[in-house]
Amino acid sequence: MDRLMVGVSGVRGTVGRTMTSRVAREFGCAFGTMLGAGKTVVLGRDTRQSGHRLRSAAVAGLRATGISVIDLGIVSTPGVALMTRHRHADGGVVVTASHNPDEYNGIKFLQPTGTGLTADEAARLKAIWESGQFTLAGTAAQGGEFHDETTHSRHVEAVLGICDARSISTERFKVVLDSVNGAGCVVTPMLLDKLGCQVMHLNESPDGQFAHPPEPVEVNLAELCDAVRTQGAAVGFAQDADADRLALVDENGKFVGEEYTLALAAAFVLRHRKGDIATNLVTSRMVDDIATSVGCRVVRTPTGEANVVEGMNREGCILGGEGGGGVIEPQVVPVRDSLVGIAYVLQYMAETNQTLSQLVAAIPRYVMRKSKFPCPAAAVDKVVDATRKAMASREAARFNDADGLRVDLPEGWFCVRASNTEPIMRIIAEALNQDDAEALVAEVRKIADTVIGEQ
């Protein structure tokens, strides 16, 4: 079950087992070979303690192929994406495992635009790595290594450019921020200070000692919910380790959920400008309700940030994102960005003079249930096929196989798919009530367990 995951989300594995310094160096060589000698990449990492040695190995591989590296230090993933464009680099590299647990680390590769590699580019990179045929430069032709410490300030400046800082500052919002001792520890307080917020910062040391699992879901955020209540704060914000995802806690200390981050951002943006929204197949229908209410549409794509951005570009969407707490604002950078989500939520509260719970209550409510389970790679397609066969006789069932299998039914929808970042499968279901959502998850899980048990 412990295998190296390679795809549009980059390379990810368990440290010391599938993700090693050797693997990091080889992928540095592979990316350098793909780009060609004489090119430049920017590189940053999150705070994971394994990050330093993996970063050093990746840099060694890049330089060995004649690539010059601009090291940004510990910065967010959207920060690396922004600097890739700002420095007119030929690509970007982020040493991160995003929301995955501490035992994971990985490497994400970016296009010159700052977005992740396309599926074709990711496949090409994987093929180069698997072949081991790297184009190495001679000693005299190795790439250089440089440093740039301006990422945080440039990122904050870019986010301030798409919001009304003055109207937010007038409210003097009291905010509790949980950065999980990750890459958002420095840049996020900088932004909140510019927005005039009073900040209580939990887990604020960028040392990679995660105070709780870094995925910003309810089970991991009890401390944040308690702090919002005891401090009388207007809102709580939770980031993951590389600060591209954002989850929300309302003024009552209630976990709002990561699905609402994109929904609220979409509702805010569509108040000011009309256009289509792109998101993946497993994001809540809330986004569809918000968009259609103002005559706009939602473009659905396979899961994966690069897939969403590709859909945005193809369809001319003004905003994108994923239901896991990711907002993509192309005016800042074409990747998920928790800082954009923070700014839009605060401005939405300021200009409507409503609390977060009131804004949430105005959005049509669904119940979403998520489940994940280990699944051998050889069983993934069999699970999908068995699920399709079992659902074929269901009344009015509609199938979409762009990403695993999504099935829309009268009582709701579900999707079963392999994770891009872990050796697991996920089941996500949404319905108008809890019983229907849980029943859909249970039904699909029973099918999956039967298939896996037969392997």
pLDDT of residue 415: 95
CATH 3.40.120.10 fits 5-149, yes or no: yes
Task: Over range 405-432, report the average pLDDT.
Answer: 91
pLDDT of residue 453: 86
pLDDT tens digits, one per residue of 100-140: 899 999 999 999 999 999 889 999 999 999 999 999 998 77
CA dist., res. 368 & res. 257, Å (int): 10
Domain positions in the chain = 5-149, 154-361, 367-453
CA-nearest of 186, 189, 191, 182 to 216 is: 182
Q: Is residue 169 among the annotated active site residues?
A: no
Predicted model pTM: 0.93
- CATH class, 367-453 region: alpha beta
Using the predicted structure, report yes or no on whether residue 426 has a pLDDT greater than 90. yes
CB 138 within 8 A of CB 63: no
pLDDT tens digits, one per residue of 233-279: 999 999 999 999 999 999 999 999 889 999 999 999 999 999 999 99
pLDDT tens digits, one per residue of 186-225: 999 999 999 999 999 999 999 999 999 999 999 999 999 9
CA-nearest of 280, 265, 261, 257 to 369 is: 257
Q: Considering the chain, what percentage of its residues have pLDDT values greater than 70?
A: 99
Q: Please check whether the two domains, 5-149 and 367-453, share a CATH topology.
A: no
Across 302-394, where does the E strand assignment appear?
Answer: 319-322, 326-328, 367-374
**354 burial via Cβ count (<10 Å: 0-12, 13-18, 19+):** middle
CA dist., res. 119 & res. 117, Å (int): 6
Residue in the structure block whose two tokens are 């590709």: 310
Q: Considering the chain, what percentage of its residues have pLDDT values greater than 90?
A: 89
User: Of 50, 68, 98, 284, which one is the catalytic site residue?
Assistant: 98
End-to-end CA distance of the chain: 13
Neighbour count for residue 2 (Cβ, 10 Å) = 10
CA distances from 108 to 10, 42, 329 (A): 4, 12, 19
pLDDT band at 419 (very low <50, low <70, confident <90, very high): confident
Neighbour count for residue 436 (Cβ, 10 Å) = 17
CA dist., res. 104 & res. 98, Å (int): 9
CATH 3.40.120.10 fits 154-361, yes or no: yes
CA dist., res. 84 & res. 56, Å (int): 19
